[in-house]
């Protein structure tokens, strides 16, 4: 399991949809890349995630620009935990 702090940001290509993500740290991304077997589609890796009072299953996706994985943060999670883009959150990620 990986635990880290990350800032919420909005994906520029879909600004009007407010797709919100966090970028996994480089060292965490490297470790995931070393041990995970990416699934079909975009090199996604299935994970179990925790942010604040929320836990859910999703995938992390490789980001060519940063060279790290990115994690989508659903609107329901942001609302439940009263966070928005620009806020820093503690994230737990576990490979499944």
* Nearest one of 96, 62, 63, 57 to 77, comparing CA atoms: 57
SS3 sequence, the chain?
CEEEEEECEECHHHHHHCCEEEECCHHHHHHHHHHCCCCCCCCCEEEEEEECCEEEEEEEEECCCCCCEEEECCHHHHHHCCCCCCCEEEEEEEEC
Q: What is the pLDDT of residues 12-30, one digit of tens each?
A: 765 555 789 999 999 999 9
Q: What is the pLDDT of residues 28-86, one digit of tens each?
A: 999 999 998 766 678 899 999 999 999 999 999 999 999 999 999 999 999 999 999 99
Question: Structural domain of residue 71, as residue ranges?
Answer: 2-95
* Nearest one of 29, 11, 33, 31 to 20, comparing CA atoms: 11
Q: Would you state the pLDDT for residue 37? A: 78
Number of domains comprising the chain: 1
**CATH number, residue 80:** 2.40.30.100
């Amino acid at each position: 399991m990986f635990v880290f702090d990350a800032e919420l940001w909005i994906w520029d290509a879909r600004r009007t949809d407010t797709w919100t993500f966090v970028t996994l740290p480089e060292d965490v991304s490297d470790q995931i890349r070393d041990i995970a077997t990416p699934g079909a589609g975009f090199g996604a890796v299935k994970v179990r995630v925790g942010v604040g009072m929320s836990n859910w299953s999703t995938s992390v996706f490789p980001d060519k620009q940063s060279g790290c994985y990115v994690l989508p943060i659903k609107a329901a999670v942001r609302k439940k935990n009263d966070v928005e883009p620009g806020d820093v959150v503690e994230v737990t990620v576990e490979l499944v």
